[in-house]
Chains A and B, each alone.
Chain A
Amino acid sequence: MPNERYSNLYAKINDALSDSKKSDMLLACMKRGRDTRKVALELLPGGVDFRDDVRKSKERCIENHDTLKKQFIENVEKRGVTVFEAKTGPEVIKYCLDIAQKRGAKNIAKSKSLTTEEIEFNKPIIDAGIDVVETDLGELIIQLVNEKPFHLVFPSVHKMAPEVAKIFSKATGGKVEDDIPSIMKVVRKYLRPIFLNAEIGITGANIGIAETGGICIETNEGNARLVSSIGNCHICVVGMEKIVESIEDAMLMVLAHPVSASGQLPTTYVTWMHGRSPLGEGEGPPRESHIVILDNGRTEMRDDPEPVMKESLYCIRCGACTNICPTFGILGGHKFGYLYPGPMGIGWTAGVHGLKEAADFAQFCISCGLCKDICPAKIDMPMIIAEVKHRDAQKNGYPKVNKVMMGADKAAKLGSATVPFSNIAINNKVLRKVMEKTVGLSADRKLPPFAGTTFMQHFRKRTSKVTDPNREVAFFVDVFADYNDPALGLAAVDALEDLGCKVIVPPQEVSGYPYIAYGDMDNARKTAASNVEKLVPYVRKGIDVVAIEPTASSSLVECYPVLLKQSEDARLLADKTFELFEYLIRIEDETGKTPSGKLAEMFVGKKFGFHCACHQRPLGSGKGAMEWLRRRGAEVQLIETGTCCGMGGTFGLKAGPLGHKLSSRIGEKLFTMFKEAAVDAIVTESSVCSIQLAEGTGLPVYHPLKLLVMGGK
């Protein structure tokens, strides 16, 4: 394992933690992105359903890419535009340089293009004596200070007005006042001659349309309109994955992109260019247009033996994943990125810049899965990132602490078997310090005690209370309820039995999610296959699987089908696996049974704040648990920042910057919200989130089942 990598990662985290101003601005920007998206979705008929349409369209267009690209090129050429297919970045640069030199052009105006960022286009052109100016304001600001984008959509969001004023004072040689309106006046004046004098305009394209040979360029500023019209030569550099089949596909993308990026439908300007139009009438210099289609690793991404890897090509560069990624919010794009930032940046970097470059920042991903949940193309980023971590580990191995975390179930088993010694050990400060030094488990995390008798042992001795069951349910236990809190598992069984379910506990493994989180795909697949093999015979008999831990439900429902390449059995198990409270509510509604159990005396009249674990967002989002509690008279409200509490499964248990420290910083906003909501206690279904919330807020944290006294008791 390259130790240098980890010391770099730690240094980056420590640096980010020492400067909260930057991350506060970034967090505000991300929150605004999420909030405006939410508002736009409310206005959009069908709401989030557009994601299914985008997904289908992208799947189809990437599947048929070769045909569509051929059709696109034919139609583009029919309209008199020259097409160049570039294998690599240097080929693009050489092509453009040749054109510029042939035309004797000295001034190039550019509108924002991530594809040209990807190939680091500007420097070699400028080195060749040609002036290249970014005209998107955010890109211009970072170009003037020679930085990379901090955020995909708002590249200069980390620069406050006074700093920007200084940048333009330097660029214009005059004094620019600190206020934004003054700066904007200067920017308009600064940019105008750049637009007017451009001999070549270079743009990217959000979309290429095979059917028409047209391209779409989306902007809010309108800079791409000027860049693509004034210069007598227009060059568009487009990634090959942007080619779609039809006008309808394009219309969909034109909507999906801004909805996800900035909550607009669509961006202020969308330019659909076909061929090269003249500028005015009469004698003028000849006008030409070029479309450069860039591969740069994309074909290999598409043909990757792991099917999930090609999903990166579905990316429409909206940046929604960067607006929700908990670690990105603290670190920003300079640290959490190579040239492409954020969660999507990991798969893209691996595809176009190399595994090493991607793996260097892939460890910032804590596998919360929120990126997949917000992505307009439903790209399985957590799985792509897991694969990147896995491939890197094949070469470099796993850091010891990650191996320890992947073996957490075995540690819990051992801990349970060695009670009371294990509990003395986890509460002994000296021993914990030793453990921190030797295995990397944070000494400052209060760990839940182990149970001497496991859930499985209890359950075997237990007799069912159901004499006339209306159904059978297979209970999926996972680690915590088995080794740490068997009473919780038993309470879940009680709750199911109260509704007439006969509960069985089939042989099973742990969910194995830590394998995904730390990138051991062999063991992740092995665990998934074993669980599917063990559980699917029950499902085939019509027995539903109910899991108590959100991460376990999510593993079975969301991850196993991907891990097992959509096998019929994995799909079947996924379809018949449910979160406990969603299931309880459903049975309650179906059977018309009155809610059993009541709020324990000590909780009557108390106010509870509910925390939704990230992994249950694509499932029930905790609605079942809240409803279940409300039906029993509890006053419970959802409290959320819209992103993760920072625990990230076992991530927050690790010592140091890439663990406990970063985890706590991520959680700060949520901790404040809970405190400000003046709740008496926090309720969550996740065993790990509860460790984080208890530590961060000082409030008591309960599992929903722990608030109840069950019927008859």
Chain B
Amino acid sequence: MEYDFAQCFEKLSGVAHKVDSEKAAAEKIATICQEQDAKCIALAGLTESLVSQIEASCSGMTILKEPYASNELPGAIDKADLGITGIAFAMAQSGTMVEVTTNDANRLVSSLPRTHIGILQAEDIVDKYHDGSQRMREVTAQHDSNLVITFISGPSRTGDIELILSLGVHGPASCHAVIIDNQN
């Protein structure tokens, strides 16, 4: 690989963490939650096993998870201090996590809370930005009805006042990528 995802993601004010198992990912998440003083966290698009691991590692916190009841949205997710979502794949060159969802509740989990953590597998990182096209094509072909794919390259940013970079005015102020690499 010519590009290092973690490095490119961090250039965009993101924070990358490499771990070797789902368990380690859950522990990393717990650490981030403590650092952020999170009392309530929301989960979406994660494997069942990872959800259980997070429930174990973040036991003191209120944990919101799928299914989210329609009639409680968007307020329920807005209460979360931190949102954790599964990432389908990533493009190293541009430091981009790609989130694939068929329910907009999942999109809220990565956009309403102050902190967003994306969880991705190391093998799902493609090298160049344009290498992502093939994955985009596959994902789109698998869904002939509703589908939202989101590129996430760092936290929410604006430069609209005096061109000074400000993070988290609309969406997350901090954005983490936890990369699970089982091979190491």
Contacts and interface: CB of A to CB of B under 8 A. Distances in A.
Nearest to B112: A226
Interface string A201-225: 0000000000010100000111101
Interface in B118-145: 128-130, 132-133, 136-137, 140, 143-145
Interface in A372-422: none
B1 interface: no
B115 to A, nearest CB: 13
B130 A225 contact: no
B156 interface: yes
Interface in B134-169: 136-137, 140, 143-164, 166, 168-169
Given A222-B156, A274-B143, A280 B164 contact: no
Contacts of B159: 154, 220, 262
A1 interface: no
B105 A279 contact: yes
B145 to A, nearest CB: 5
A229 B69 contact: no
A271 B96 CA distance: 12
Contact of B78 (A79, A196, A222, A267): A196
B24 to A, nearest CB: 27
B156 A272 contact: no
Contact of B152 (A80, A265, A269): A269
Q: Among A136, A279, A282, A284, which residue has the most Cβ atoms of chain B within 10 A?
A: A279
A279 B140 contact: no
B35 interface: no
Which of the listed residues B72, B94, B169 has the most CB atoms from chain A within 10 Å of its own CB? B169
Nearest to B131: A251
Contacts of B73: 279-280, 284
Contacts of A180: 161-162, 164, 166
A532 interface: no
B102 A196 contact: no
A136 B171 CA distance: 12
B70 interface: yes
Interface in A143-192: 154-157, 159-161, 164, 180-181, 183-184, 187-188, 191-192
Residue among A159, A230, A267 with max Cβ neighbours from chain B (10 Å): A230
Interface size class of B (residues with CB under 8 A): 35 or more
Interface in A73-91: 78-80
Contacts of A164: 161
B158 A280 contact: no
A590 to B, nearest CB: 36
Nearest to A192: B78
B104 interface: yes
A251 B136 contact: yes
A273 B101 CA distance: 10
A117 interface: no
B10 to A, nearest CB: 14
Given A79-B146, A225-B150, A282-B69, A196 B166 contact: no
Interface in A218-268: 220-223, 225-226, 229-230, 247-248, 251, 254-255, 262, 264-268
A29 interface: yes
B171 A275 contact: no
Contact of A266 (B71, B153, B158): B153
A230 B74 contact: yes
A255 B160 CA distance: 21
Contact of B67 (A161, A229, A281): A281
A318 interface: no
B5 to A, nearest CB: 14
Given A180-B161, A184-B169, A280-B69, A268 B74 contact: no
B108 interface: yes
Contact of A274 (B67, B128, B147, B157): B147
Contact of A284 (B71, B107, B132, B168): B71
Contacts of A196: 74-75, 78
Size category of the binding interface on chain A: 35 or more
Interface in A605-638: none
B103 A277 contact: yes
A696 B154 CA distance: 45
B108 to A, nearest CB: 6
Interface core residue of A221, A222, A269, A285 (most chain B CB under 10 Å): A222
Interface in B30-84: 66-75, 78
Contacts of B137: 247
Nearest to B111: A225
B119 to A, nearest CB: 18
A265 B157 contact: no
B170 interface: yes
Interface string B91-113: 00110100001111101101110
A270 interface: yes
B35 to A, nearest CB: 20
Contacts of A135: 170
A338 to B, nearest CB: 23
Nearest to A287: B104
Contacts of B16: none
A191 B170 contact: yes
B15 interface: no
Nearest to B3: A43
B166 A181 contact: yes
A434 interface: no
A180 B149 CA distance: 32
A229 B146 contact: no
Contacts of A268: 12, 152-157
Nearest to B164: A180
A367 B103 CA distance: 50
A266 B112 CA distance: 21
B180 to A, nearest CB: 23
B78 A270 contact: no
A225 B107 contact: yes
B79 to A, nearest CB: 11
Given A188-B169, A281-B70, A274 B148 contact: yes
B47 to A, nearest CB: 18
A251 B130 CA distance: 7
Contact of A79 (B94, B144, B170, B171): B144
A276 B70 contact: no
Given A229-B107, A265-B129, A284 B150 contact: no
Contacts of A282: 67, 69-71
Given A276-B146, A284-B70, 6 more contacts: A28-B163, A80-B146, A141-B160, A225-B171, A251-B132, A279-B74
14 contacts: A25-B162, A45-B128, A78-B144, A79-B144, A155-B160, A184-B161, A188-B168, A225-B111, A225-B150, A265-B93, A270-B151, A273-B148, A274-B148, A279-B108
Q: Nearest 7 A-B pairs (CB), nearest first?
A: A284-B70, A222-B171, A275-B146, A280-B70, A138-B160, A270-B151, A281-B67
Interface of A: 25, 28-29, 32, 45, 78-80, 135-138, 141, 154-157, 159-161, 164, 180-181, 183-184, 187-188, 191-192, 195-196, 212, 214, 220-223, 225-226, 229-230, 247-248, 251, 254-255, 262, 264-285
